[in-house]
Amino acid sequence: MHDREFIIANRNLIEKICSLKKTKVDIERLYSLIEERRLLINRLNQLREDKNKLTDEVPKIKKQGGDIKPLLEKSKEISLTVGEIEKQLGNAEKEENTLMSWVPNILEKDVSTENDAIFKVIKETGTLNEKNRNYYDICTEKNYIDFKRGAKLAASSFPLYVGKGALLERTLINFMLDLHIEKHGYLEIFPPFLVNYNSLYSTGQLPKMEEDMYSLSKEDNLYLIPTAEVPVTNIYNDEILFEKDLPKKFTAYSACFRREAGSYGKETKGLKRLHQFNKVEMVRYSHPDKSDEALEEMLLEAEEVLRLLGLSYRVILLPGNDTSFSSAKTYDIEVWAEGTKEYMEVSSVSNFLDFQARRANIRFKNKDGKNTFIHTLNGSGLATPRTVIAIIEHYQTEDNDFEFPPVLRDYIKYGKEIFKS
RNA sequence: GGAGAGGUGGCCGAGCGGUCUAAGGCGGCGGAUUGCUAAUCCGUUGUAGUGGUUAUACCGCUACCCCGGGUUCAAAUCCCGGCCUCUCCGCCA
């Protein structure tokens, strides 16, 4: 969400960003509504002032024993007009809000605004080894992941992790959380996995991504979270912080639920695209002056997970046309999968500037005592499924099995042999 | 699920038809005092919109006491609906 003043003052920019991100917002209508609203408010303020003056006269005249009847009639008459204009204003504001809620965030200076731009490779590390076996064959043969029975229990793309597969998943989550908590100084959060409309609106998933959300029945009116970003970013929804409270750094594990509407047929086999998956997320509340450097820090923190796991990866900067609705700048981290022989996105690190904070109404008192919107950022650190793919393929063994990466071995509380059966 | 209590400014908390321009406290800010800190004293203190005007300064007006309706000339205050919190009971991992 943008400030109304900002929208008025930057019409070219707003039109540009809407067309770049292919957002269908009736800009013409939006600007005329903004003007209509202003005129209605002026009219309304004048009428209310008149009415208030009359109302103030009533007790005075009563005290003097005067006749208040004319006043009452006049006041009632104004009330009727006020009611009508309030209705008009309500309608105008409602429509204006709807249109505004569909305008995407602006982009940072170094993000390309060309219509046909593609990503820019920022960094490549490690070597792109290739191996014979891919994770899918290993996992299904050893029954580390039972895709068939997962589909029986729920639907396709709901994997059932079994034995060593389940342990790898759990171990990875613990390892990533501990890294962010102990080394990177994040506060651990275990959020609700269901959230209400407002939380999803605030982070920008709604109204745009409605069809990608799993939701409960109307009487519960809750949605399954597509990422821990949603509950965690909203922790201080509608609150005012002090400047000394910033930055705030949260990390959270959550299961993530996505309908992936419109992507049927694409990568439906295996772990690459799931309706339910696990992810450790980092979220920051930043001072507006510091969000740029916070983004770079978070990128390094997410990269560190892959470095410690001993995996090769690259970092790309997304072009504007591929940057999500709420984000002003996004880096993706892609891990190299040696058996599948391709790069796979395992993390997305974004700066939302004050776009989410405005929707969520999260502010802080700055040095001048003025309430100012914070900046929010988040980054996956990391999503497990594709990380698991890369681990299994990189650490595969001659006997069609895989070993745990060295950094995870301390996390294994049970003897290795328990997986042999 | 049943019964009861309650939702007021950054926070706590009083007010329960017109005098609310919301008491008091805490916190914040400014100042005095002061080796430093603490303590004390004095002053100050919300948000949004809209207009004067081009302006984050100043002034006016409007709205805002959980949200939405209603009663009334007039609502933080009365009535109805919703949401949320707390207490007790029931059920339950």
Q: Kindly determine whether the C-beta of residue A49 is less than 7 Å away from any atom of nucleic acid strand B.
A: yes
A260 in helix, strand or coil? coil
pLDDT mean over A42-55: 91
Distance A93 CA to B79 C1' (A): 29
Confidence of residue A415 (pLDDT cuts 50, 70, 90): low
d(CA A143, CA A157) in angstroms, rounded, equals: 16
Question: pLDDT (tens digit, 9 = 90+) per residue, A20-34?
Answer: 999 889 999 999 999
Question: pLDDT (tens digit, 9 = 90+) per residue, A3-19?
Answer: 898 999 999 999 999 99
Confidence of residue A265 (pLDDT cuts 50, 70, 90): low
Question: pLDDT (tens digit, 9 = 90+) per residue, A345-400?
Answer: 999 999 999 999 999 989 888 877 788 899 999 999 999 999 999 999 999 999 99
Q: Kindly determine whether the C-beta of residue A4 is less than 7 Å away from any atom of nucleic acid strand B.
A: yes
Cβ partners under 8 Å of residue A325, min gap 6: A21, A104, A105, A204, A208, A209
* Residue A19 structure tokens: 């067309």
ipTM of the complex: 0.84
Binding residues of A: 227, 258-260, 281, 345-348, 378
Distance A286 CA to B29 C1' (A): 23
pLDDT mean over A146-173: 94
Distance A196 CA to B68 C1' (A): 19
Q: What H or E segment, with its residue span, contains residue A122?
A: strand A120-125
Nearest nucleotide from residue A45 CA, by C1' atom: B62
Residues 17-46 of A with CB under 7 A from strand B: 37-38, 41-42, 44-46
Position A420 scores a pLDDT of 45
pLDDT mean over A61-79: 82
Residues 207-266 of A with CB under 7 A from strand B: 239-240
Neighbour-count burial for A344-375, b at 16+ CB within 10 Å, e otherwise: bebbbbbbbbbbbbbbbebbbeeeeeeebbbb
Binding residues of A for L-serine: 227, 258, 281, 378
The label of the residue with tokens 């309030």 reads: A86
Distance A251 CA to B82 C1' (A): 34
Q: Kindly determine whether the C-beta of residue A47 is less than 7 Å away from any atom of nucleic acid strand B.
A: no
pLDDT mean over A187-212: 90
d(CA A106, CA A355) in angstroms, rounded, equals: 9
According to DSSP, the β-strands at A240-242 and A276-286 are unpaired
Distance A252 CA to B4 C1' (A): 38
Nearest nucleotide from residue A54 CA, by C1' atom: B73
Domain architecture of chain A: domains with CATH? 4-101 (1.10.287.40), 120-419 (3.30.930.10)
Neighbour-count burial for A221-246, b at 16+ CB within 10 Å, e otherwise: ebbbbbbbbbbbbbbbbeeebeeeeb
pLDDT mean over A87-102: 90
Position A161 scores a pLDDT of 96
Q: Kindly determine whether the C-beta of residue A94 is less than 7 Å away from any atom of nucleic acid strand B.
A: no
Residues 61-80 of A with CB under 7 A from strand B: 62, 71-72, 75-76, 79
The label of the residue with tokens 């696990």 reads: A278
Position A146 scores a pLDDT of 96
Distance A240 CA to B33 C1' (A): 34
Distance A238 CA to B15 C1' (A): 26
Listed as ranges, the nucleotides of chain B within 7 A of a protein C-beta are: 10-11, 18, 28-29, 46-51, 60-63, 69, 73-74
Position A250 scores a pLDDT of 95
Q: Which residue places its CA closest to the C1' of nucleotide B51?
A: A42
Confidence of residue A68 (pLDDT cuts 50, 70, 90): confident
